[in-house]
Amino acid sequence: MLLAIDVGNTNIVIGMYDGDEQAGIWRIRTVADATADELWIILRNLTAVRNIDISKIDGVIIACVVPPLMGALEELCANFLKLRPLMVGPGIKSGMPIRYDNPREVGADRIVNAVAAYEKHHRDLIVVDFGTATTFDYVNAAGEYEGGAIAPGVKIAADALFHEASKLFRVELVAPSRVIAKDTSSAIQSGIVFGYASLVDGIIMRMFEELGTRPKVVATGGLARVICSETKLVEHIDDDLTMEGLLILYRRNLPAKR
């Protein structure tokens, strides 16, 4: 059984796979100073709810963009699972050439998403990930990662608005019924949801114009469904893209059978 962990700045997504079958996926809050003991308790409790036998875990893959958590994750694997995790980063066999000026600068999550999207669609793609940052990544028709764009995430922008404007307040991030709102709550929702939908469409359209082609656009991430319900250019939403990418990368890095 494979344990796949995607550590983002806001959330940690934990996935369990029994062969090709998904046994469970959970999303928890990222705590940068969490200890291995705390992570073990969380993992044990989550798997217990699904009656998953944690002793059957025989492989671990981790994508992490939060350096302070790396030690705790490695300790979790060594002390409790008795396994050495496969870390997504330089040296891993991704099967995807990275056409970036400095490939080491590309976040692990961006590569994982790109690999999964290309494996599933086998064509040129733009992958939009709604995480702590909103990222746009282009993969060409030959399956090569070409680069992309990074914008502040939806929650980062919303939090900045609430912190800096003393009379504004937190609202549920859903699309209101109209752009020209008649109350402050709806006005905030309009600005954030419709504003980000326009940002997404705007960057994608600029990519289309720069490329001279129209790649397939795939979105993933926690707020993908909220924002992309208001976009015009996103064609497909894949909630489990990152987890599926980790599964693909783990298999590509297994020792060859003799």
Q: Which residue carries 């419709």 as its tokens?
A: 194
> Could you give the count of Cα atoms lying within 13 Å of 7 in the half-sphere of its Cβ?
24
H/E stretch holding 124: none
Catalytic residue from among 20, 33, 101, 109: 109
Distinct helix (H) and strand (E) counts, the chain: 8, 10
Record the tokens describing residue 72, joined without a space.
Answer: 């705790």
Rounded to 10°, the helix 241-252/108-121 angle is 90
Q: Catalytic annotation on 109?
A: yes
User: What is the chain's Cα-based Rg?
Assistant: 19
For 116-133, give one letter per residue: b (16+ CB within 10 A) or e. bbbbbbeebbbbbbbbbb
Phi first, then psi, for residue 68 (nearest 5°) are -60, -20
Which of 105, 150, 145, 148 lies closest to 132, judged by CA? 150
- Catalytic machinery residues: 109
